[in-house]
Chain A
Amino acid sequence: MSNSAAPMIEMAAVSKWYSPQFQVLKDCTTSVDRGEVVVVCGPSGSGKSTLIKCVNALEPFQSGTIRVDGINLSDPGTNLPKLRARIGMVFQHFELFPHLKITENLCLAQEKVLGRSREEAMAKGRALLDRVGLSEHAEKFPGQLSGGQQQRVAIARALAMDPIAMLFDEPTSALDPEMITEVLDVMVELAREGMTMMVVTHEMGFARKVAHRVVFMDRGEIIEDRSKDEFFGSPRSDRAQLFLSKILAH
């Protein structure tokens, strides 16, 4: 039921509790349009990673609805693996499979989930590896690559599935400063090509450069959800102002 007019990702009143006393998400409502880049930011522990993991149902939530490409995640008839295969996800700690070579990392899901042949998967994988500038590392294991290189491979692995949207969960937080740029460059390029992206990050430079909208979260709530220029120009809430003053102080 693909509906090209509807947003790619639609969240309505999403709430999640770990226990009755501990609510991590409170009535979160937002959406990501097709081709839109939304940056989610906020202090640590504000629930932004949890929120983005709800989008591909890696985290269960107790109330509210999330629709991806018109498909309701909570619908018992929804084939979650099939839906997840269409959404790329990049993790803070890369999560490449350490026992598999780079090429095998790129091919595994293409073959097992999409049913592509080895040749087809390999061609796709090599093309993407070339795109992120790592062709010469194809036969290495993830542990032989630097953090930045691993994260670029992880992006290539997600792209190999021809995703309709990409989720980034703090993709540069675990990287040494000098490696952040190489990963952000890949992400900027992707955004400029029109990929639908939801990005949890503290990289405000990235947000300024390519984001269409910024969602600011604190203590499990979406405090601000506004266009980039509005957000950086005149954040309305005290908490967002405080956050920005801290993060942009230097």
Chain B
Amino acid sequence: MPHRLTPRALRFGALVRERIYEAADYGRTMTDGTDAAEAGWFSDVDPGDVEAAGDAIVEGRAERPREWPRLAVESGYVASEAEYYDRLHEAAIYAARREVREREGADDQQLIHAVRAMDDSARVANELAERVAEWAGSRIEDADTGIEYARELAERDDDDPLVSLARRVRDLDDERASLRAHVERATPDVAPNLSALAGPVLAARLIALAGGLESLAKKPAGTVQVLGAEEALFAHLRGRAPSPKHGVIFTHEAVNGTPPANRGSAARALAGKLAIAARVDHYSGERKPELDEQLARRIERIRARDSE
């Protein structure tokens, strides 16, 4: 390989290339004076600096393609087109590998921690809000309840321990909101299809309940249907209760938006599609938009039974 890390001295090449152009309406100008929208990935990179080349491939932009191999030779970035392709090959693989690692770093185990932390924050915030409400009721005439009231109290300019506790509630509730935003961002990377079908938060909860995307992908649809309803399921298995119709998937609009008589069917149909989505996500990772429509059609048909 002619192009392992080369000395910094090669920066000379970049200086030679310096040209002065008026910055066009794209605003940004490369340091070598080339209009950003006209520049190739190599325009601002030291030959041999694979990391910078990778950054340029990931972040660069251009409106149209140009004869980059020829331009790279003309600019002195490489000596020949063969060398150009060698460098591009190396930099593109480096960039893609790094990005894949970053995106997959949002892995299912990290997501499980995040969604559990989100639920813990919500639970503790509610618990403390109840304490605040009770305490406030003993001292304040028009005391209210809930997290909203704790937020109101937290605004008071007061050293009172009650106000301080209310501030903890507010902070915990903010933490819950920011964890939720994180889960909403991260889930589509971990499980694009499941996230699209279930919504990011429910998708993350299902992955957490199963213990990971792989174990969710290996569960039959009937198990997915009752994940989160273990207590009811075991009561049923001991013969003390009817079989549960749904677990956490009850939070999905396809289930709770369907009239009670048809909810069992809706839950079964949803669980079936979610199980397929989890398998596609685990084994292929490609987005299959047709799953969304198949689900929408199934639910539509189930709901239409009422009007018959």
Do A and B actually bind?
Answer: no
